[in-house]
Structure 1
């Protein structure tokens, strides 16, 4: 307070220097940014893509309003989209009804032609025959066409460059959408939808930008409006907002200096920082206003507020920062980035609220007169005391009941379900999953014993055995592999006799079949999506309906068990899937964050014991720190029960937030006992008087501000916002009801007289005290 100008200048300068790290920030446009580069499941998928074709695709759904995809007009649209598919940058393969390979034998010649090449040359009978073929053919039905023949899709496999793949994907989807908008006018009787993994993940930058324009400003407006209404101090609120903005610059800039991309997770950090920074500011402003109301001059009131809040603000900031830094245990980098940015921002908010804010308020006409209008909360102790035992029993019963519901929560996530249902891309993907194709793709790359070993009937029989195992799962849509090609060729070359739809009898015959087939293939229709370059390995593609994370990992276990039973070297047989990678990451994320939670809890406990210099107070503080999280996750089981990405980090984040109220309450209680020499009853009453209002204000402010996350189009953000709101509401109930009663029960609940409470407090006079 004696170096106010220096305090203001140094804090602003520090924030600006750190904030410069965000000047070249880029948005994330790749779902693989959610993984660490060392993630084994992601690397399995990348290895499969390198050996075969990419897993990235963009698709266009074609839905004729006459419900007949084999009508000439619909087939022309599919042909036009197929030709366009080859013009798309980075296109590697185009698959559709029009270019699906239709094999048959004409005399001694194997004919390999497109299923639909010249629409005008096909008679109605031929169209009907080919429709019947497509709706019954494995690998065509439930993929390129529905079984009813009323919906089809054109799939374009994309191979993006390693550098700047995200921006390349965004440009491709824009290119496709522009073309579809054109063709939509050309075919008014057909509905088109752009879907596929690339279409979904390229929605991320738009969500990042939209959330950046809405969540942070909305949170800021909500906080400002709420505090203006309660504190009645517009100037003081602006000073608090300025303090929070400096913390945002510091936190975000510190992380962006490292070159990370702005993800839909990281974009929430400014809103989180401003909420927690404002909580520090509120405590300081409330005690400042209370000092003015007691007749203190401005400088003395600010000094007294700093004095009484210094330790609580320092320790709440440390504990909250620890809980956010614990997100670095996360298996997903965006959450680690958010944890680091929030942790740095919170620590900078601590510095700014204890230096910049009081120095600035000194020069402003800020008095927060609304605080004096708020009721005293110390009198609640009179109502608690006669019913203390009942309240404790009630809390314990509620706690046990809600905690017993926690096992009902289940781990379940899907990248498509990260997006709000109101988004067009999410609605279109749900439509595709419901109507034509599954949402879960599992790739299994199976090695043969030698180069060219894939022709061996013994190897093909193993593929057959695997497919039979996969078909035992009722949620399987279809499988695609070399086996289906071989069986079809064997049937074709035996006059299309269905009895010959089986594996060729010899390696030589299989080799000749495939050579003859490949020599007849048109451009872009080779078997590189199923066979590697030296014919030593093939890929089985299995497509499933929606599977939960647990079901997907169980499925992987069954497949791995089959591989082990058939003596495959697990170092070479690879199971790869984007869905599977996310499922594993979610499980690992929960386990790692649980470890982070334990580490944070231990560290926070030690900080509290060090702060209070009392094992008893440190241990008591654990009750209001653990109860709210347990209660909140029990409530979540009733609301949703689904533990996704946002929920998996919620328990760690909320730990640091709920500790804040406990620290402020116990710090004021300890101050009353040691500095004011009040007895236990009066110390609890004093703590309720001095910090109760601020706790209610910060809880209401946080709850209102975290509501902004509920408006995000990214579901993990919504989940994070909702679980945080539930937790901090549970926390304030525990801190303002259960904690005071515990202190009374453990350390005495009688109002002894006389005590120091009857004497004027430091800084008070006998008149105004």
Structure 2
């Protein structure tokens, strides 16, 4: 017992000493924290990186395979311009001239290496033994109606054009601009390529108003990521205004609102400094850190302020005594909730998506600083400000009665409420298993983003924007001219075309067939793979020599002609279907071709499709560690193994409930939602810790029985829990409006989880405390006083 008393005394001495120290040296502390915040903020350097590669770690096997493929061929960073004339016919003199002009201008795009269009398509024809390779339509202004009709007939019969550059009706066409970015700075896309393309499109539409222009491709996707980052940063100001208004309404005190504002600003400024010091570049997921910190930092301040104002209004304490009491009563609970929140966000580092590592680390640092400022800057400011609070007995009584009434409702029927809670939670947990992963990167953006609407238009009117690529090796230098290789490649192309998901297949076997036909006087019977290797090699050489600069076969054939690239364009299928399709292709190659031709399907689409599954697998370990660590923290803080173990229930079940409700709402989970368990686990501990702290205080210090202690907890901490929940809901609701689905979906399910946490902590937790408190020993009760002694 002596040890217990010493620990209890040490805790009380520390709490009182901290409160006295901060209040006594309020001006030096305020100045010191100001210098600290400004010093950290001066190191801030906010750079944005919109490259989709940032979503993949360097060890990601799909990224490694994709980069290896691009090293063999040309990189396919591209801009797709899709043109839709108002007359619904590409093949008119006026429209072909316009397409020619835009194609020529597209070559001026910064870092452009290739431009593919219907007009400059390299059409092969024969005249005796001579092979001619020409633009399908050049100098279109000089063409006759008959010539244009002939061009249309050729184009609509060309497999390499239809469903790729041209739709089957000839009413929509595309210009594909391939760029080779040096990768020397992050402004190559947002500062050079994108502004040029947008200006080019604006000038084209002004000159040719009869055309609609839609853009897609990897460059516009990167731009959309970049702009989403900046847009979500802009949500911070909206959230700041909401927090100010919400805090003022709930505390009804201008000085507490101002002090809270200072704390959250200091926390965000410090986090910005951390970003600069660590050299972190902003991405759409990590760019929401100001909103995250702002929202979470308010919770720390609210508990201290609400307790202080309650002591002044209800108990008649003066400002200084009320402030000391608020610090002493809330220091340890606030520390615990801050620590568990930091642990939760740090578990994001177990995932496989680097932007979420950054979000976790920045927010964890910001929350650590928020704890520091809420226990130093906040009380210092409140000690300085002329805070006054009139006791309003009638309003106080009504407010107390509401929470007391809820407490009395719970204590009358703990068994019934526990059973109902278990049934509801069990049912929603079962529903949660119906959620499926779907990481279609197009659906990362909502319809307010031009990239999304343009891409949907292209999908509906021209071609798919999802693809899978295979690099098919022959096993020897020059082996792509081997007739056996070409026959296997041709069979693979035919098999792919038979698959229901496939829109278009671009394979070298099509080039080999087309050139073979042209070299035999355009005889359709020779539209097949050449029978002789030397003949195939000669045809290929002749064809390559006839191609103009920039339109060669480097995007399909590697340098030593030992491998060719097969690009399969597919419908906008979901992640599971995309992975299954790629696997079918790999299996077909393994079962029907020599070992050298076995290949792995790769593409950005496939990488994103596998990202959610990879993130879920890697986060599982992190979530388990977070749960164990947070449980241990609570057990140590409560000094009670059983109650610490019991606290896991109200901390885990809100997540299960959240995903169960989500199954009714969307039933699809993306990469951003995988981190929700670890992230919210730390956040929702706040409610549990503060409710349990007041329950334990009533039981062990005031001598209340379990039911009286529950009512006491409702009365003393109910308002603070509702207040912090409202602020958290406001913050994440603002974030849920983001047009970037990784952030908005994460925020929406977090809103559900936070609300579920409050309900569970008001219904299930007190019921469980009542049902299990009989087994709590006197000695355990005495030990727990160490933390929560009055």
TM-score by length of 2: 0.92
Residue in 1 aligned with 2:248?
228
Kindly report which structure 2 residues correspond to 1:528-547, keeping only aligned pairs within 5 A, or say none.
528-547=554-573
Q: Which of 445, 459, 467 is residue 493 of structure 2 equivalent to?
A: 467
CA offsets 1:16-74 (integer angstroms, 9 cap, x no match) = 2322332x321112111222223221122222222111121012111110000001111
Give the one of 643, 651, 654 matched to 1:628: 654
| Mapping of residues 431-446 of structure 1, within 5 Å | 431-446=457-472
The 1:564–1:169 alpha-carbon spacing in structure 2 relative to 1, beyond 3 Å, is: farther
For residues 611-650 of structure 1, the C-alpha deviation after alignment (integer angstroms, 9 at most, x for no partner) is 1011111111111111110011000011111111222222
Checking the alignment, whether the CA contact within 8 Å between 2:477 and 2:562 is kept in structure 1 is yes
Indicate the residue corresponding to 2:12 in structure 1: none
Does the 8 Å contact 1:286/1:368 carry over to 2?
no
Q: Determine the C-alpha separation between the residues in 2 that align with 1:595 and 1:119.
A: 62
How far residue 567 of structure 1 moved from its aligned partner, in angstroms, is: 4.3
**Mapping for residues 268-287 of structure 1, pairs under 5 Å:** 268-287=288-307
- CA distance in structure 1 between the aligned counterparts of 2:476 and 2:389, rounded to whole angstroms: 80
Task: Tell me the CA shift for residue 123 of structure 1.
Answer: 3.0
Distance 1:477 1:191 in 2: 23
Match of 2:640 among 610, 614, 621: 614
Aligned pairs for 1:25-36 (under 5 A) are 25-36=46-57
Deviations 1:454-496 (A, max 9, x none): 1001111121222233234201011112100000111222232
Look up the match of 2:204.
183
Q: Pick which of 41-50 and 542-551 moved more.
A: 41-50
- Paired residue for 2:623? 597
Write the distance in 2 (CA, Å) between the matches of 1:409 and 1:166: 38
Residue of structure 2 in register with 1:119 after alignment: 140
Q: Residue 135 of structure 1 is aligned with which of 139, 143, 156?
A: 156
Question: For 1:525, what is the secondary structure of its paired residue?
Answer: coil
Unmatched segments (≥5 aa) in structure 2: 1-22, 776-781, 783-787
Cross-structure match for 1:752: none
| Cα deviation code 1:350-389 (max 9, x no counterpart) | 1111121111101112356699473341332322233322
Distance in 2 (alpha carbons) for counterparts of 1:464 and 1:310: 72
Change (3 A) 1:115 1:165: farther
- What is the alpha-carbon distance in structure 2 between the residues aligned to residue 405 and residue 55 of structure 1? 41
Q: Is 1:45–1:576's contact at 8 Å kept on the other side of the alignment?
A: yes
Equivalent residue, structure 2, for 1:3: 25
Candidates 762, 770, 780, aligned match of 1:736? 762
Greater Cα shift, 66-75 or 646-655: 646-655
* Count of matched residue pairs: 751
1:759 paired residue number: none
1:21 matched to 2:48:
no
How far apart, CA to CA, are the structure 2 residues paired with 1:763 and 1:417?
Answer: 52
What residue is the counterpart of 2:19 in the other structure?
A: none
CA contact (8 A) 1:308 1:668 kept: no
Which residue does 2:230 correspond to in 1?
209
Equivalent position of 1:767 in the other structure: none
Q: Distance in 2 between matches of 1:94 and 1:43?
A: 27
* Stretch deviating more after TM superposition (43-52 or 450-459): 43-52
**What are the Cα deviations for residues 236-284 of structure 1, in whole angstroms up to 9, with x where unaligned?**
1110111111111222321331111111212211111111111111110
1:73 aligns with 2:94: yes
Residue 354 of structure 2, aligned match among 319, 333, 337: 333
Q: TM-score, normalization: structure 1?
A: 0.94
Matched, 1:264 2:315: no
Q: Distance in 1 between matches of 2:389 and 2:588?
A: 70
Question: Which string of whole-angstrom CA distances, capped at 9 and with x for unpartnered residues, describes residues 173-208 of structure 1?
Answer: 110111111121211222222322201211233332
Question: Cα gap change, 1:399/1:184 in structure 2, threshold over 3 Å: closer, same or farther?
Answer: same
Report the counterpart of residue 8 of structure 2 in structure 1. none
Q: Could you tell me which runs of 5 or more consecutive residues in structure 1 were left unpaired when the two chains were aligned.
A: 750-755, 757-761, 765-769
Q: Is the CA contact 1:94–1:524 (under 8 Å) kept in the aligned structure 2?
A: yes
Counterpart of 1:355?
A: 376
Where do residues 366-405 of structure 1 align in structure 2 (5 Å cutoff)? Answer: 366-367=387-388, 372=396, 374-376=399-401, 377-405=403-431
- SS of the aligned residue for 1:441 comes to strand
Q: Kindly state the Cα deviation for residue 319 of structure 1 after the two structures are TM-superposed.
A: 0.6
Q: Deviations over 1:273-332 (max 9, x none)?
A: 111111111110111112112122222211111111111101001111111111111211
1:711 counterpart residue number: 737
Give the Cα separation in 2 of the matches to 1:258 and 1:142: 46
Aligned partner of 2:601 in structure 1 is 575
Cα shift at 1:169:
5.1
- In structure 2, C-alpha distance between the alignment counterparts of 1:558 and 1:517, rounded to whole Å: 33
Question: 1:169/1:463 Cα in 2 relative to 1: closer, same or farther (>3 Å)?
Answer: farther
3-state SS in 2 of match to 1:164 = coil
Q: How far 1:234 moved relative to its partner?
A: 1.3
How many angstroms apart in 2 are the aligned matches of 1:64 and 1:192?
9
1:192 aligns with 213
Question: Paired residue for 1:244?
Answer: 264
Equivalent residues in 2 for 1:497-536 (5 A)? Answer: 497-536=523-562
